[in-house]
Amino acid sequence: MKVELYDTTLRDGAQTQGISFTVTDKMRIAERLDDIEIGFIEGGWPGANPKDVQFFKSAKKLKLKNSRIVAFGSTRRAHIKPDKDAVLKGLLAADTECITVFGKCWDLHVKEVLKTTLDENLKMIEDSIRFLVSKDKFTIFDAEHFFDGYNENPSYAIKALLAACEGGAERIVLCDTNGGTLTSRVFEVVEEVKKKVKVPLGIHAHNDVDMAVANSIAAVQAGCAHVQGTANAYGERCGNANLISIIGNLKLKLGIDCVSDLALKGLVEAAHYIAEVSNMKINDNQPFVGPSAFAHKAGVHINAILKNPKSYEHIDPSKVGNRRNLLISELTGKSGIIKKAEEINVNLDKKAPETQKILKLVQGLEHKGYHFEAAEASLELFMKRSMKKFKKFFELKDFRVIIKKHLRGKILTEATVKIKVGDKSEYAASLGDGPVNALDNALRKALKDFYPGLSEMHLADFKVRVLDEKAGTAAKVRVLIQSQDKTDSWWTIGVSENIIEASWQALVDSVEYKLLKDSAKDRR
């Protein structure tokens, strides 16, 4: 069975709250979608805004190997000839090989939104598609609100589809526009429609009841050969069907070769790349591609995974470009500690006293508020320090933070740091936007002559959590710091009743982890 993939991230995904693509963003995403062999990429609605007009002009320069760019728009307006309709003329002006037009299939929308007759709406659908087909365009019909329309007036909803067929549509896509249809109903309706419509069917699902992916898969099982969705489920309201998850399920669960094995391996990279361009964070627990998709925390689970990965994993994570992640916490047993040590090139034996010692220390620190699964760089440093496998790069002699507020309201933060590297001492002072920023600036200023590689590193994120709210201002806090350089990013942690002390702990770990990485490269 052949199933086509159709991505609408650049249009539907752009309607996500918080996303605003530039033309360059859209070009970059289109290239990445092409890499994972998406057959159709919907670029937007030409004429709707200057950005989309520019995108279709710029898209002609893209050297796509697997994808076709699609222009999207509506059927003609009521009582307007197709060749006089502004939307249809805009679609042709986009000069794409493929065009998708949507039309109303729900009589409620025809009467109350379009304010026209049921017969005129059918003519709008047929005329628009026939006009585009006469211009040699591969034309897809998106049957908007089809499932709601079919539930209330099945006869009319089918007439709308048949009108599109008469016009020459190449694909008829059944849209669950409001996203409220249950999976069993999707399967049932697709089977019924397939008996009456001979043009290949597609599915376009929204996620308002958290069933968009399930509905898309069910539609394929019922006979659809074309699936629409967005990367990472971006879209208005609760989002669209997640095309990344759909690919994983079609390929690995149904055995449908919608993409090659090589493209499948690129899913993680593509999902994260598109999230980065969209200025969005990938959900840690996003199926197939999230950092937690193959993360294991419980000691029993880790022990079983090490014996046979099938025991707690539904697929080999490497098939989608992901990796197994064994989390170290108070729930971890010896097996997890040994495996984590192996990952950082430290040999541990299950019977060795060091293993039990590290396990007890980890459990104790987690009890105090540490959270090593969220700060694996600190965990690696902790394990190497515990096993005397870590040589300190510098020693803190003292630090001081001064916060001063001027009469005019401006707050000034200054940090001073005194450190020792070998037999040399160094003192540095620096201003900052806040105490952590000032400490970071001062520490790296003090170390820059000893470790020039620190100039490549910067702080990317800073999180604070109060661990015992009832203690008020005396509560213990947990600080997490994300740092990154040209090739990597890592998280470190600090815990203390003093937020500056907790921040300093995380800050020092972030710097020492960078120095540890660099020293390992130098040895190679």
Query: Domain ranges in the chain?
Result: 4-277, 295-354, 395-523
In this structure, what token pair is assigned to residue 486?
A: 């040209």
Residues with Cβ within 8 Å of residue 70, at least 6 apart in sequence: 6, 40, 41, 42, 43, 96, 98, 99, 100, 140
One fold for 295-354 and 395-523: no
In this structure, what token pair is assigned to residue 412?
A: 């000034």
Architecture in CATH of 4-277:
Alpha-Beta Barrel (3.20)
pLDDT in tens, 15-61: 999 999 999 999 999 999 999 999 999 999 997 788 999 999 999 99
- Say how many residues make up the chain: 524
Is residue 446 predicted with pLDDT exceeding 90? yes
Can you tell me the mean pLDDT for 463-481? 76
Return d(Cα 429, Cα 439) in angstroms, integer: 9
Return d(Cα 233, Cα 216) in angstroms, integer: 12
pLDDT in tens, 213-265: 999 999 999 999 999 999 999 999 999 999 999 999 999 999 999 999 999 99
Return d(Cα 128, Cα 131) in angstroms, integer: 5
351: confidence class by pLDDT, cuts 50, 70, 90? confident
Return d(Cα 497, Cα 509) in angstroms, integer: 18
**Cβ atoms of residues 104 and 121 within 8 Å:** yes
CATH number of 395-523: 3.30.160.270
DSSP, collapsed to helix, strand or coil, labels residue 463 as strand
Whose tokens are 């700060």? That residue is 375
* CATH number of 295-354, picked from 4.10.430.20, 3.40.50.150, 3.40.710.10, 2.30.30.100: 4.10.430.20
**Which amino acid is residue 414, in one-letter code?**
E
Give, as one character, the DSSP assignment of residue 113: I
**Cβ atoms of residues 477 and 464 within 8 Å:** yes
User: Is the whole model's pTM more than 0.85, yes or no?
Assistant: no
